[in-house]
């Protein structure tokens, strides 16, 4: 049962917000960044002073996914701040939502092109990367033969993925079938942590006894299992060649939330207007899983869960490699996943004692200590995906992620 | 907006040094039982003078005193004392301790070669053998300011250690179990294979040392001495004698747990271990028997940067992947 990958770390803090069902949160106003997808900007198609309904398209693009109004209300202004453009909407609960436009015919009659177009118009993008889902599906077409659904919550503080899998197994399986049809794959694997028994039984109940298409793979829980390449390593024991995409070896990975969004887009006709977020951490007064509209300010989300106390820090992203959240200007985007409110650790850094722990824990088989002296192999900068394992285990407390990002910056110049 | 570590597994550099200091206690206690309190004094003298040298150095140059480096220096001084016979005069551990501390004073500033810990002890022991032996001679003929050896010595001071016998082509008369438990004559910290082995296992269990280094070292040592025996006994008996006696286990425990001077990767540690074992046997056969393992460790340590360079791990994704469509 060694379904795992090389390196990684085990952190025994199983979700401070574990087992909490997601609750819906509605802020008074939202500010939507029009360039929140990887790959460019969208063009606003509304004017200041317009009244929008929740789910109405507010920004378009001929290539990227659309943006929709996360709340019903009035467009206050189109804001320009720090080189990013925002659409600010003041919410008004009296206005109705936009009408859903689902497919009416069964899946087997929808063409793959229709599916990708629908996903694009409904604004589905990758949960962690912010990469438009329809582009990924089109790129995988003809290359991938297996679809892996990432139902793993590898971050020790997060838990919303687990809740999604527990709550909506039917929707996930249906969504997986839709994506499978969109790409044309012959196999679907749900990747699940081995200690998630309830999610496993829930999924198995939906899939049924013997489905030739869908299977479930149970993996040893470890950080950063959720990362695409590590997940593939654990599921199929293959490494993606350097500089290639996962579909080059025949596999493509979609996260559980993305699959859920695809289902909602195609079967229910609901566009992406909100995002699942875990707010958690040692200093968080009331850890919770939230469903927050896109564009909610990060400060509002943190305040909702008790705020950030003194001498605590609010991290955006994973607890291990997250950066300090920009509470003043930051807004929830389609790739926001977690806010961690935790203690500020004393920043004491000592010399490297060459203990070699970073090498043992690096999932990319790098030698992170070589970044300190700068005699690293330049090719390694591309491989490192800043998971933060080396920094987590370093007994000298060296800020390896800072050093590596510095190296990356220098290499780009 | 930095990535400062907000979660951490809470190991510290001090825990590395502290764990090694803990396993030091076992041989110290045993040496007191075997040789009397004088063994403890010799160790203490070495440790105190080495620590004092470091503290004075820091005070003189107004540097920050780092506890884990202080521990490392005390450790290398203690290990140096371990490699001495109990009968040496006190100025020897004093001198040796201070010399062992010196390399650690220029401790790493991102340099590729770093000294410290076991390496300095081994270097002192390996490169000043004449100093050691002359001191012993001086002691045996005239000993003006030395305590008389304690009376409850298990062995007389004049008996040869098993390795000294080995260098003359003989095998010691003591049983192998004596050597395993440490009831034979020898140097202060080297005699008990068992206690050092316990320390070794402790470090491995505490994840302060990888199992690769010590295991491969002992294994290679066994194989070579089994194939090329040099004593007047059966090969297997000779193998066990060379394994159990001398500083092999001492080096195994303290050299391989010294992170600063070891190669960082597992492959590097294996290469280091094989090299050390081969050199140990060579030096034992060709030269001074006792210093074999220390000389080997020092030579291999000089090669550490080279080993490091050629044993970096193969990065993710360099493996050939079959299947899939292009």
pLDDT at site B113: 37
Work out the mean pLDDT of chain A and round it to a whole number.
86
Residue B1 has pLDDT above 50, yes or no: no
Q: For residue range B207-261, list pLDDT tens digits in order.
A: 888 999 999 999 999 999 888 877 667 778 878 877 887 678 888 888 888 887 7
Residues A180-208, mean pLDDT to the nearest whole number? 89
Q: Helices in A184-297 by DSSP H: which ranges?
A: 197-207, 228-236, 256-263
Question: Highest mean pLDDT range out of A315-324, B44-53, B166-175?
Answer: B44-53
pLDDT at site B170: 54
Question: Highest mean pLDDT range out of A11-15, A75-79, B145-149?
Answer: A75-79
Which positions in chain B touch A365 (Cβ < 8 Å)? 313-316
pLDDT at site B274: 95
Instruction: With CA atoms as reference, report the closest residue to B32 among B192, B214, B141, B270.
Output: B192
Which positions in chain B touch A388 (Cβ < 8 Å)? 3, 5
Q: Say if B144 is an interface residue toward chain A (CB within 8 Å).
A: no
- DSSP code of residue A251: E
Q: Say if B280 is an interface residue toward chain A (CB within 8 Å).
A: no
CB pair distance less than 8 Å for B317 and A383: yes
CB pair distance less than 8 Å for A356 and B7: no
Q: Say if A339 is an interface residue toward chain B (CB within 8 Å).
A: no
Angstrom distance (rounded) from CA B104 to CA B82: 18
Q: For residue range A364-398, list pLDDT tens digits in order.
A: 888 888 888 777 777 777 788 888 899 999 988 88
For testing the chain A interface, which of B4, B65, B208, B211 should be mutated: the one with the most A CBs within 10 Å? B4
CB pairs under 8 A between A and B: 156
Residue B3 has pLDDT above 80, yes or no: no
Chain A nearest-CA distance from B265, in A, is: 6
CB pair distance less than 8 Å for B3 and A393: no
CB pair distance less than 8 Å for B9 and A392: yes
User: Would you state the structure tokens that stand for residue B152, as one six-digit string?
Assistant: 């409850």
- Residue in chain B lying closest to A143 (CA): B325
Residue A291 has pLDDT above 80, yes or no: yes
Residue B160 has pLDDT above 70, yes or no: no
Q: Are strands A187-193 and A214-219 parallel, antiparallel or unpaired?
A: parallel
**Residue B152, exposed/middle/buried by CB under 10 A (0-12, 13-18, 19+)?**
exposed
Q: For residue range A122-135, list pLDDT tens digits in order.
A: 999 988 888 899 99
Range of weakest confidence among A25-29, A229-233, A343-347, B126-130: B126-130
Q: Say if B304 is an interface residue toward chain A (CB within 8 Å).
A: no
Chain A nearest-CA distance from B25, in A, is: 23
* H or E stretch covering B20: helix B13-35
Which positions in chain B touch A326 (Cβ < 8 Å)? 1
Q: Say if B64 is an interface residue toward chain A (CB within 8 Å).
A: no
Cis? peptide before B230, omega within 30° of 0: no
CB pair distance less than 8 Å for B259 and A401: no
pLDDT at site B108: 45
Angstrom distance (rounded) from CA A201 to CA A206: 9
CB pair distance less than 8 Å for B2 and A344: no
Chain B nearest-CA distance from A201, in A, is: 31
CB pair distance less than 8 Å for B5 and A143: no
Work out the mean pLDDT of chain B and round it to a whole number.
73
CB pair distance less than 8 Å for A355 and B2: no
User: Structurally, what CATH architecture does the domain formed by B13-310 represent?
Assistant: Orthogonal Bundle (1.10)
Is 0.95 surpassed by the pTM of this model? Answer: no
- DSSP code of residue A108: G
CB pair distance less than 8 Å for A352 and B108: yes
Residue A349 has pLDDT above 60, yes or no: yes
Residues present in chain A in total = 413
Domains of chain A: 107-268 (3.40.50.11540), 357-412 (no CATH)
CB pair distance less than 8 Å for A359 and B313: yes
Q: At residue A80, what are phi and psi to the nearest 5 degrees? A: -120, 120
CB pair distance less than 8 Å for A350 and B262: no
pLDDT at site B246: 66
The two counts, helices (H) then strands (E), for chain B are 15, 0
Q: Say if B305 is an interface residue toward chain A (CB within 8 Å).
A: no
Angstrom distance (rounded) from CA A257 to CA A388: 23
A residues 180-219 near B, CB within 8 Å? none
pLDDT at site A244: 81
Q: Say if A34 is an interface residue toward chain B (CB within 8 Å).
A: no
Residue B267 has pLDDT above 60, yes or no: yes
- A316 bridge partner residues: A323, A339
As a whole-number percent, the residues of chain B with pLDDT over 90 amount to 12
pLDDT at site B159: 44
- A147 bridge partner residues: A188, A252
Give percent helix, percent strand, percent coil of chain B, each to the nearest 5: 60, 0, 40
Residues A175-193, mean pLDDT to the nearest whole number? 91
Chain A nearest-CA distance from B4, in A, is: 6
Contact partners, residue A406, CB within 8 Å, separation at least 6 = none
Task: Assign B167 a pLDDT band (cuts: 50, 70, 90).
Answer: low
Task: Assign A162 a pLDDT band (cuts: 50, 70, 90).
Answer: confident
Q: Give me the residue spans of the domains in chain B.
A: 13-310
Q: Say if A303 is an interface residue toward chain B (CB within 8 Å).
A: no
For testing the chain A interface, which of B6, B117, B206, B304 should be mutated: the one with the most A CBs within 10 Å? B6
């Amino acid at each position: 049962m060694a379904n795992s990958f090389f390196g990684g770390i085990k952190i025994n803090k199983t979700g401070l917000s574990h087992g909490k069902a997601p609750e819906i949160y509605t802020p008074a106003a939202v500010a939507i960044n029009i360039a929140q997808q990887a790959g460019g900007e969208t063009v606003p198609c509304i004017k200041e002073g317009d009244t929008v309904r929740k789910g109405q398209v507010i920004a378009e693009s001929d290539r990227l996914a659309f943006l929709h109004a996360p709340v019903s209300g009035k467009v206050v202004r189109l804001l320009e701040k720090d080189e990013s453009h925002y659409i600010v909407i003041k919410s008004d609960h009296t206005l109705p939502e936009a009408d859903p436009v689902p497919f009416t015919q069964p899946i087997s009659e929808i063409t793959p092109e229709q599916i990708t177009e629908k996903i694009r118009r409904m604004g589905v993008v990758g949960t962690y990367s912010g990469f438009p889902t329809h582009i990924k599906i089109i790129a995988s077409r003809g290359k991938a033969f297996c679809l892996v659904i990432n139902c793993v919550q590898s971050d020790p503080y997060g838990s919303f993925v687990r809740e999604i899998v527990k709550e909506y197994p039917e929707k996930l399986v249906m969504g997986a079938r839709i994506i499978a049809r969109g790409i044309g794959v012959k196999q679907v694997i749900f990747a699940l942590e081995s200690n998630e028994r309830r999610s496993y039984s829930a999924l198995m109940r939906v899939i049924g006894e013997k489905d030739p298409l869908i299977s479930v793979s149970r993996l040893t829980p470890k950080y950063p299992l959720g990362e695409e390449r590590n997940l593939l390593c654990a599921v199929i024991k293959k490494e993606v060649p350097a500089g290639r995409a996962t579909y080059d070896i025949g596999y493509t990975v979609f996260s559980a939330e993305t699959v859920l969004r695809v289902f909602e887009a195609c079967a229910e006709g609901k566009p992406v207007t909100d995002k699942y977020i875990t707010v958690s951490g040692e200093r968080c007064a009331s850890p919770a899983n939230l469903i927050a509209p896109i564009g909610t300010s990060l400060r509002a989300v943190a305040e909702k869960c008790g705020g950030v106390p003194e001498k605590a820090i609010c991290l955006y992203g994973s607890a291990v490699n997250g950066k300090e959240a920009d509470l003043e200007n930051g807004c929830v985007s389609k790739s926001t996943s977690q806010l961690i409110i935790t203690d500020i650790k004393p920043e004491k850094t000592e010399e490297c004692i060459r203990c070699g722990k970073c090498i043992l824990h690096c999932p990319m088989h790098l030698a992170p200590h070589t970044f300190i002296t700068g005699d690293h192999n330049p090719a390694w900068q591309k491989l490192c995906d800043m998971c933060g394992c080396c920094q987590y285990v370093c007994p000298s407390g060296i800020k390896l992620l800072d050093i590596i990002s510095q190296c990356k910056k220098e290499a780009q110049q | 907006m930095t990535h400062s570590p907000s979660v951490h597994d809470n190991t510290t550099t001090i825990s590395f040094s502290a764990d090694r200091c803990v396993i030091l206690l076992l041989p110290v206690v045993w040496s007191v039982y075997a040789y009397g309190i004088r063994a403890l004094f010799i160790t203490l003298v070495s440790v105190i003078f080495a620590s004092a040298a470091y503290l004075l150095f820091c005070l003189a140059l107004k540097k920050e005193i780092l506890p884990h480096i202080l521990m490392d220096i005390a450790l290398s001084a203690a290990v140096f004392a371990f490699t001495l016979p109990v009968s040496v005069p006190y100025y020897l551990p004093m001198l040796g301790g201070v010399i062992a501390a010196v390399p650690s004073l220029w401790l790493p500033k991102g340099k590729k070669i770093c000294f410290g810990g076991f390496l300095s002890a081994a270097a002192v022991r390996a490169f000043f053998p004449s100093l050691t032996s002359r001191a012993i001679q001086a002691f045996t003929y005239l000993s003006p300011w030395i305590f008389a050896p304690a009376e409850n010595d298990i062995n007389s001071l004049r008996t040869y250690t098993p390795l000294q016998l080995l260098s003359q082509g003989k095998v010691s008369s003591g049983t192998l179990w004596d050597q395993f438990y440490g009831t034979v004559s020898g140097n202060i910290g080297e005699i008990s294979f068992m206690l050092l082995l316990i320390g070794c296992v402790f470090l491995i269990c505490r994840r302060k040392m990888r199992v690769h280094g010590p295991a491969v070292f002992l294994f290679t040592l066994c194989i070579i001495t089994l194939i090329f025996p040099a004593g007047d006994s059966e090969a297997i008996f000779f193998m066990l004698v060379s394994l159990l006696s001398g500083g092999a286990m001492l080096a195994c425990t303290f050299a391989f747990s010294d992170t600063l001077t070891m190669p960082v990767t597992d492959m590097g540690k294996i290469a280091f271990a094989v090299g050390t074992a081969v050199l140990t046997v060579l030096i034992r056969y060709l030269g001074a028997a006792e210093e074999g393992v220390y000389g080997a460790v020092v030579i291999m340590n000089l090669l550490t940067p080279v080993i490091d360079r050629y044993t970096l791990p193969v990065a993710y994704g360099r493996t050939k992947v079959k299947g899939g469509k292009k």
